[in-house]
Structures are given as structure tokens and as C-alpha cells.
Amino acid sequence: MKSGFQRISLGDIKPCGWIKEQMQKDLNGFVGHLDRLAPDLFIKDKIYGKDRLTRNIRSKSVGNLQGQDEWSRQYLWWNSESQSNWLDGYMRHAFLLNNKIHLARIKKQIGYFLSTQDKDGYIGIYAPNLRYHFTGENGELWSKTTLYRALAGYYEATKNKKVLQAMIRAVKNVMKKYPAPASSPFSFNKPYAGVSHGLMLTDVLNELYRFTGDKTYTEYAAFLFSDYNREDVSEKDVQLKNILNKKYKLAGHGVHTYEHLRSLASAYFTTGNSQLKKALSVYLKRIESATTATGGPIGDEWILGRKANGTNTGYEYCSIHELMDSYLFLLQKTGNLQFADKAEKIFFNAAQGSRNPVHSSIAYLKTDNSYEMCGTKNGLKEKIKKQTRYKYSPVHQDVAVCCVPNAGRITPYFIQNMWMKDDEGLIACLFGPNESAINFKGKNIFIRETTSYPFDFTINFEIEVEHPVEFTLKIRKPGWSKAVTADISFKEEKRFIVIHKKWKGKETFQITFTPALKVNRTHDREVYFSYGPLVLALPIEAEEIITKKYNIPEFYDTHYRPISLKHYRYRKGKIKKEKGRLEFRAELFNTRSRKTEHVILVPVGKTILRQVTFKT
């Protein structure tokens, strides 16, 4: 199998410039305050400790205001996901911004979680009489996955061996209780979302393999995948019999479908099985056709056989994060740069475009064409009772507190994958301002990347070494780049700009990519515009309505209603970049006045209401 790249440890790549400012804003905002914005879920419920679930607990407050229904059994584990995914993003923010106050809080929290470990290694949410003995839906593996991912990040950043030892003991406890191949960890009566999420223990197992080099972990992940394939689970998109069935269409809960991509890929990279290889390629194509112009994959919340559409298919913030993370996993495992292009597209467009540009809040659900954000999809009446997902909130407690924690994870995950390395040297995979200290074969290499990418396409690299060291620096040439210029001699090899030399002291050079201003087609033949990695949007002026205030100042839920809604079509009009500004003058056809008008397009990440795709 083609060997890929190696990941760099959390904390070795630090954000600078705009991306650091945004993270700072998030840490001062929803990332640093989520526990206090929803204290019942985050502070009061010690679900991994004294409040572990027992046989007698039938219902639980998880902040979901829609009340009890037939799903209530799956709500029992919800707080573990909310708490752990939040901790994961919060902890990564604190390390990347080196914030001492938050780091002290996190150290205490990690200490608390380690203190809940039982003698046999168990860290989880179930009392002894219940754990590993379920008849139906449960969150055994999922509650572990979300917490252990945070422990993995904490270990990477601190190199605290106690944390790694605790993780290893906890995972060995799973492997003992659900032994491979003799047990069936996905065999339950009517399992639901929690069981299906549990397949993502894959993430933890891959991290442990990365830390220890012990293949037992990735082999266990392949076992989990094969057992998942055999069972009657709730989420079936990733099952081989469905992938290899030409007529099958993606139908599942979006988040599951996109995170399961990592489990399928991991099973293939571990076993080299040719059927898995074929399945991976089919699955990637199916996901591509469920993806909108901005990179947002259908997740509103079930895919239901649909193809992506700018107005009608929404994406959940969780699904944005999970698909980006899956592409980054594939980038690392294969070294194939198309996955870096895809990850940048999601991060700079769908993800940025689902954040509130002013307040510290995000949209739970968003569409590329966003004509109203007052709870329902573009103001349409929906079957879902009391639909509230299409709004901006720092919590979204009226639905589920899943998206806000994942909005805290996405930026650190993007940053950690900006650089990777291989046996020859370092690889600049994703761009953006950063400062990094990467150990290559025992030598420290310091890098400063100064740029306002993706808002500008000139990148200044500063490389500093303590002693002269020979290595290859590879820089990804983005798929959209028409040309590249540099003031250092380089070779172009496939999609890489390759600089091989003996580096001495501090050296600087500059690289500039030439972006194309492109007219693209969506899967359903609508037009959208892009400039380099940025998808463009026509902003729609909106009235802001504050619908909820929190006990902490400056936090709000907000709705947006268009002031005057017009729809445009594209009839081969001209489009041109304004000089010195990231604005684009376009000729579009106003369907109401039936006249061609000059309008200004901007990057979608800077908008709330907007039109991104245009019928012709």
C-alpha cells in the first residue's frame, strides 16, 4: 500500500494571524463558556463519575426541550458526547493559544477523568452491573471514544505518560471485554445512534497506534469494522453490502456516514483488502455527490437518498467537522493532495459560512443559499415539529448540544494537519498563518508561515535550524492554482513544489499562487463562483432578531430575516475582481425586475444570508 505522511503532534503547529484571532474570539466566546452556558449538562452531570448510568435510570435531563419520546433511551448517553467533544475542542484551543488560565482548568478536568478509572482500567459512563451487558441501544464505545480522543490530544501536547497509560489500560479493558474476533460489540436489539457512533473508537485506536507503533490497535479497529458490517445497526451507509450494491443510495444520518469514512479507510489501510479498496473509492464518490458547492455534506439530518442542492439540502455543523476530519485522515494515510483541497474547501467555506461573523455563535444547520435563519430551512414549513436548527446560537440546547462542541474542534484539527512529514522532510499540506517547531530525525526545525491565506495567496516562509540539516521541503500546489512563482529554486513534482537543500541558520523565501476566478457547476447544474479556495456568495441584507439572552453577557441566540429578498440567475454575465479588495463585481439577472444588475460577491465565510448557487 502507498505510504502516506506522519502527523505532527498537537501543539507543535501554532496558529498566527487571522486564524489565531478567530480562535481567541472562540475561546473567549462559546468554546470557553459552553460549560457555564449549559451547566446542567456540563458541570452537574458527572456521567463518567458518581452519576454513571445504572439499570434503574430510565430518563435523564440532556437539555433537549422536545421532551420524552421513543428515542429517550438514546438520550441517556448524550451528555458524555457533549462533555467530551467540548473538552476536546476546548483543550486544543487552550494549548494552541497557550492560555495558562484555561490550561489550569483543563489539567484539573483531565485529572478528574483519570480519577474515575476503575482498577480493571474501565473509564466510561456505566455502573459495573450494566457495562458491556446491554440488550439494546447504548453509548459504551461512543462515550469512551469522545473522551479518549480528548485524552489523546492532552497526552500529545503534554507528553504526560500517566495519561497515555490510562488510555492504554482503558482501551485494553474494551479489548478484553469485547475480544476479537470472538465477540460482537455491535450485536444488540434495535441499536441506535450511540451504538453506530461507537464504531469511531477507530479514532482512538489509530491514535494509540501512532503513539506506540503497536499494530494490535489498528487490527482491532479493522475487527470492529468487520463486526459492524455483519450486524443490523441503525446506520448502514458504510456497510460493504450497501457500498458494493450499485443501486444503493446514501440514506443515513449524515454525521455517521461521514465519520464512518475513517473506519472504512482505516480497515483498508490495515488489511490492504482489495474489496475494501474498491468500497472506499465508491463511498468517496457517493459522499462527493452529497456535497454542496461550499463543501457542506447533507446532514439535515438524514441523507435519504438525496443529492446535494444549494437551497434544499442543509448541513449540520457536526457533519462539516466529521467529513473534514475524514479527509484529513485520508490525506495523512495516502499523501494524496486532493484530500487537502477538499479539507480546505470545507473549512474555509462551509465551516466559516456557518459561523456568525459578529456574535460568538454558530448555525446548527445551514444551507449554501441561506434566505432566512428563523428556525426552519429557508423559511419553509417543515415536517419536523418546532424546527429550530436554522438559527445562530452559542449552545443550541433546544435541539442537542452536539454542533457547538464540534465547532470548537474543527479549527484545532485543521491546524494540526497544516504540516505533516515523511522520511524525506516536511510537507506544507494546508495553508494559513502559523508558527511551528517540528522535530525531523532528531533535529528541531522552526517554521514561520506569514500570510493572510486564503484571503491572499502569497506565503512567506521562514525556516530556521540550529545546525545545518539536509531535508526536502514539499509544499502542496493547490488544485485551483493556475501558476506558482517563488524566489527560491524549486522543482515541481506532481502536485508538490519541492525544495531539497541543506538548510542553514534562518532562511526565508516567498511563494505566490495564482488563483483562478472560476465559474463552476454544481452536481445539479447550477452555477457558483470561486476564487482560489474561496466560494463566493451574494450577501442578502438581513434584520437581526435576538431570540434569547443568556446569564453571561454578550451571548445570544439570533434569527435573521431578509429585508428585501431577490433571487438571481446567471446568464453568462461578466464577473471581475475589484482591485485591491476581496470583492467581485458580477452581472446577474434579477428574476423579479427581469433586468441584469451589477452586484458584489464576497467570500461565503463572511456572510449570514446569501445566494451561492445560481440557476442559468
Residue 519's DSSP bridge partners are 529
In the complex, minimum distance from the CB of residue 468 to Zn ion, in angstroms, rounded to a whole number:
49
Decide whether 316 or 557 has the Cβ nearer to Zn ion: 316
The CA radius of gyration of the chain, in Å to the nearest whole number, is 24
Smallest gap from Cβ 56 to Zn ion, in A, equals 29
Closer to Zn ion by Cβ: residue 227 or 235: 235
Nearer to Zn ion, 85 or 218 (CB): 85
User: Which CB, 85 or 369, lies closer to Zn ion?
Assistant: 85
Query: What does DSSP assign to residue 43?
Result: I
Q: Which grid cell sits at 309? A: 442542492
According to CB under 5 A, which residues from 472 to 511 bind Zn ion? none
**Residue 253: which H helix or E strand, with range?**
none
Q: Could you tell me the three cell numbers for 281? A: 473509492
In terms of CB distance, is 318 or 588 closer to Zn ion? 318
Q: Tell me how far, at minimum, the Cβ of 198 lies from Zn ion, in Å.
A: 17
**Is 38 an interacting residue with respect to Zn ion (CB under 5 A)?**
no
365 binding Zn ion? (CB under 5 A): no
Per CB under 5 A, the segment of 84-92, 308-316, 328-336, 524-532 that binds Zn ion is 308-316
Determine if 208 is a binding residue for Zn ion (CB under 5 A).
no
Q: How far is the CB of 317 from Zn ion (least distance, A)?
A: 6
CB of 404 to Zn ion, least distance (A): 8
DSSP summary character for residue 569: E
Say whether residue 318 binds Zn ion (CB under 5 A). Answer: yes
Cβ proximity to Zn ion: between 300 and 316 the closer is 316
Among 81, 301, 316, 368, which residue sits at the site for Zn ion (rule: CB under 5 A)? 316
The answer to the question of residue 402 lying near Zn ion (CB under 5 A) is: yes
CB closer to Zn ion, 77 vs 490: 77
Three-state SS annotation for 312-357: CCCEEHHHHHHHHHHHHHHHHHHCCCHHHHHHHHHHHHHHHHHECC
332: which strand partners?
none
C-alpha grid cell, residue 308:
446535494
| Distance, CA of 107 to CA of 49 (rounded, Å) | 17
Q: Please tell me the count of residues contacting Zn ion according to CB under 5 A.
A: 4
Pick 318 or 331: Cβ nearer Zn ion: 318
Q: Which is nearer to Zn ion, 203 or 316 (CB)?
A: 316
User: Closest CB to Zn ion among 92 and 197?
Assistant: 197
Which 3-state string (H, E, C) describes 110-153? HHHHHHCCCCCCCCCCECCCCCCCCCCCCCHHHHHHHHHHHHHH
Binding segment toward Zn ion, per CB under 5 A, in 57-65, 283-291, 314-322, 427-435:
314-322
Q: Give the shortest CB-82-to-Zn ion separation in angstroms.
A: 10
C-beta of 141 vs 318, nearer to Zn ion: 318
Query: In angstroms, what is the minimal distance from the CB of 365 to Zn ion?
Result: 9
> Which letter does DSSP use for residue 554 in this model?
T
Record the cell numbers describing residue 49, joined without a space: 463519575
CB of 255 to Zn ion, least distance (A): 7
Neighbour-count burial for 458-479, b at 16+ CB within 10 Å, e otherwise = ebebebbbeeebebbbbbbbbe
Within 13 Å and on the Cβ side, how many CA atoms surround 374?
13
Write the CA distances from 497 to 340, 396, 473, 492, 582, integer angstroms: 15, 44, 8, 5, 26
User: Which window, 119-127, 148-156, 311-319, 420-428, contacts Zn ion (CB under 5 A)?
Assistant: 311-319
Closest to Zn ion by CB, 82 vs 242, is 82
Ramachandran bin of 418, using left for φ above 0, alpha for ψ from -120 to 50, beta for the remaining angles:
alpha
- Report in angstroms how near the CB of residue 89 gets to Zn ion at its nearest: 13
The single-letter code of the amino acid at 190 is: K
- Residue 401 makes contact with Zn ion by CB under 5 A: no
User: How far is 530 from 537, CA to CA, in rounded Å?
Assistant: 9
Among the candidate windows 171-179, 184-192, 397-405, 607-615, which touches Zn ion by CB under 5 A? 397-405
For the bound state, the minimum distance from the C-beta of residue 59 to Zn ion, rounded and expressed in Å, comes to: 21
The nearer residue to Zn ion, 110 or 318, going by C-beta atoms, is 318
DSSP string, 437-504: EEEETTEEEEEEEE--TTS--EEEEEEEESS-EEEEEEEE--TTEEEEEESS--EEETTEEEEEEEE-
Closest CB 540 distance from Zn ion, rounded Å: 25
**Could you give the CA distance from residue 477 to residue 493 in angstroms, rounded to a whole number?**
10
The minimum distance between CB 363 and Zn ion, in angstroms, equals 10
The answer to whether residues 450 and 127 touch, using CB atoms and an 8 Å cutoff, is: no
Q: Candidates 185-193, 305-313, 399-407, 520-528 — which segment interacts with Zn ion by CB under 5 A?
A: 399-407
The answer to the question of residue 403 lying near Zn ion (CB under 5 A) is yes
Cα angle for residues 376, 382, 387 (degrees, 5° grid): 45
| Cell, residue 398 | 433546544
- Which amino acid is residue 535, in one-letter code? V
CB of 57 to Zn ion, least distance (A): 24
Q: Which of residues 104-123 bind Zn ion (CB under 5 A)?
A: none
Q: Which three cell numbers stand for residue 445?
A: 526545525
d(CA 364, CA 399): 9
In the beta sheet, which residues pair with residue 7? 420
| Contact region with Zn ion (CB under 5 A), list: 2-10, 33-41, 367-375, 396-404 | 396-404
Q: Judged by CB, which is closer to Zn ion: 238, or 402?
A: 402
**Three-state secondary-structure class, residue 535:** strand
**Residue 602 DSSP code:** E
Least distance from C-beta 301 to Zn ion, angstroms? 8
Nearer to Zn ion, 237 or 259 (CB): 259
Stretch that binds Zn ion, among 36-44, 136-144, 312-320, 481-489 (CB under 5 A): 312-320
Smallest gap from residue 402 Cβ to Zn ion (A): 3
Residues found near Zn ion in the complex (CB under 5 A): 316, 318, 402-403
